[in-house]
């Protein structure tokens, strides 16, 4: 996104962001056909393996939940971390379920995939304490199997969490170190 686009997004009321910036019903983060195959490690969704056991992805939706669960089982993904707030991006794609998300978390849990929701407001920062709580739970969950992490697009909050996890738990340093 451009700097101008980001500034406009921050000033736009959340209920208008979807139709103005994401594409509303045609939101590219809600559709796999907008992405090249190399941008979809899990075929049905925009996704990228960051490490052997962490996958970053856009938010799932009810239309692909069944297929995604099968892919999770195939790849031994045991946890899904949702960084969205209830009701977030309500006008993107097919909209939201009764759960307040684009999918029903219960479906994942019924298939032995742990569900964690840490509500992190889009385009905002969180406290160090809250971030460490998420990192500790993520670290614990990875002892059970691989983890999928998503916000809306799978870029901002998702990327920040994964980067912080790698720095804190894996002690990964910059190439200059």
**Which are the catalytic amino acids?**
151
CA separation, residue 111 to residues 32, 71, 84, 135 (Å): 23, 12, 21, 24
Name, in order, each residue with C-beta under 8 angstroms of 177's C-beta and a sequence gap of 6 or more. Answer: none
Longest Cα pair distance anywhere in the chain, in angstroms?
48
Residue 94 to residues 27, 28, 167: CA-CA distances in angstroms?
9, 12, 36
If we measure between CA atoms, which residue out of 34, 75, 86, 87 comes closest to residue 58? 34
Contact 150, 158 (CB under 8 A): yes
With beta carbons less than 8 A apart as the criterion, state whether 79 and 49 touch.
Answer: no
Write the Ramachandran bin of 93: left for phi over 0, alpha for psi from -120 to 50, otherwise beta.
left
């Amino acid at each position: 996104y451009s700097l101008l686009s980001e500034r406009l997004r921050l000033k736009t009321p959340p209920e208008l962001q979807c139709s103005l910036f994401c594409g509303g019903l045609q939101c590219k983060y809600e559709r796999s056909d907008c992405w090249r195959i190399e941008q979809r490690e899990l075929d049905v969704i925009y996704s990228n393996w960051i490490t052997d056991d962490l996958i970053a992805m856009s938010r799932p939706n009810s239309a692909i939940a069944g297929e995604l669960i099968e892919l999770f089982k195939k790849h031994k993904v045991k946890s899904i971390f949702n960084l969205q707030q209830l009701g977030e991006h309500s006008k993107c794609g097919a909209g939201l379920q009764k759960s307040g998300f684009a999918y029903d978390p219960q479906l994942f849990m019924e298939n032995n995939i742990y569900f964690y929701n840490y509500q992190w407001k889009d385009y905002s920062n969180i406290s160090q304490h809250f971030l460490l709580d998420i990192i500790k739970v993520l670290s614990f969950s990875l002892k059970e199997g691989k983890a999928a992490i998503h916000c809306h697009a799978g870029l901002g909050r998702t990327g920040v969490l994964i980067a912080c996890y790698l720095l804190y738990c894996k002690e990964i340093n910059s190439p200059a170190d």
